[in-house]
Structure formats: structure tokens, C-alpha cells
Homo-oligomer: A and B are copies of this chain.
Amino acid sequence: MKTLRVPEATVSRLSIYSRFLERLDKNGITTVSSGEIADGVGVSPAQVRKDLAYFGDFGTRGVGYNVKDLLKYTLKILGLDQEWPLAIVGAGNLGFALCTNRSLSIRGFRIAGVFDNNSTRVGKRIGNLEIKPLAQFPEIVKKENIRIGVIAVHTSLAQEVADIMVKSGMQAILNFSPATINVPDGIEIRNVDLSIKLELITFNLGLRTAQNL
């Protein structure tokens, strides 16, 4: 597989293609062209072909792609042919929302542990999960073989939580706080900023106002 140095934008589009393929598959559609994928997700057909070409030779000229095969392959490329248990630190509203989020469970992510230091939260349940004290983080992530930690605490606690995650062997951290987190080389840190998408909107609405459209 030619998988090295794939642009991140390509990987993110692959996530979107695979969601579209899932929908087609559910609707009983068996073949699809790059043009149909492009239409379905709002990019150009050339972009679809270019993105897929990073990973090998797919489809048959004039026939298109087999939906089930391409879906299976995109999921495999994304690493989603295996289970990725997650550990969430922070059982406030955001932590709760993440534990019950359909976007995550649809894609096969399983919350395997949720932690908090607030004594009013520890011991309570979110669905099948019991909120555990943060002190049990190292032990539980080891037992559950968790490699990805999710930060859903207040900004002021985010770095401290990240340090605990790194010490406990997390290989990647998804950070929902606006804090800038420092981690050692080799640990992947990703920030989810809930306002970035809003700023694409305000950019466009601002333009529209300026042009009086």
C-alpha cells in the first residue's frame, strides 16, 4: 500500500466517502462511479479518483467501484477494521454527550472508560459505564488496552489530564478543550474546536453581507 505521506485532507475525505458508501450499501446499491461519489459528498470526481489512488488501484474503467468492496477497503485504510476503545476524562455535559454520541458508536468507537475527579460524579453511571475516579485511569486503560484518550475537562485542567494520559501510555489524545496541550514527540494530539466550523459560516455570511447578496 502506498500509504505514506497521505495528506490529512485526503484522510478526512476518505472518512466522508466511507460514510457515503455505507449509505449506498444500506440502500442496496452495488456499484458507484467516482462521479456519483463526488456528487454525493460535494467534491470533484477528479478529487475522488486522486484521493483513492493514494491507496491503490480501485474500480474498473466504465463500470465504477463495487460499493461493498470499496466500503470495506476505506474502513480498513482508516484503521476501522479493528476496535478502538476510548477513555474519556471529564464526565460533565460534554463527557456525557460524548459517551452517548451516535456519531462515535456508528463508526465503531466504544467508550471503554470514563473518569472524573468530582466526587459528586464518581460512581454514577452513564449508560452501562460507571464514572471512575481519575486515580484509576492508569490501571483501567492498561486492562482495557486503551490507546486513545479524550479530554473533556475544563481548560485549566486539560494539560494535567494530558500528562496523566501520556504517563499511562496513551498514544493519541483527542482534546475538546480550547487549551493548547503540550505532549512529547511521538504522541499524537488532535484538537476539536467546536467554533472552527462556525467561523467558516461567519466568514461566508460576512462575505454575503458585504456583497449585499
Contact = CB atoms under 8 A, between A and B. Distances in A.
Contacts of A174: 197-198, 201
A199 interface: yes
Interface size class for chain A?
A: 35 or more
A3 B211 CA distance: 10
B96 A205 contact: no
A194 B148 contact: no
B205 A79 contact: yes
Interface stretch (A59-67, A100-108, A135-143): A100-108
A49 interface: no
Contacts of A1: 210
Interface string A1-26: 10110101101101110000001000
Given A23-B180, A92-B97, A77 B203 contact: yes
A36 interface: no
Contacts of A125: none
A202 B84 contact: yes
A204 interface: yes
Interface of A: 1, 3-4, 6, 8-9, 11-12, 14-16, 23, 77-80, 82, 84, 86, 92-94, 96-98, 100-104, 106-107, 109, 147-148, 154-155, 171-172, 174, 177-178, 180, 188, 190, 192-208, 210
15 contacts: A3-B207, A4-B207, A15-B199, A16-B196, A79-B206, A84-B198, A94-B101, A102-B178, A103-B177, A103-B193, A147-B205, A148-B202, A148-B205, A188-B201, A190-B200
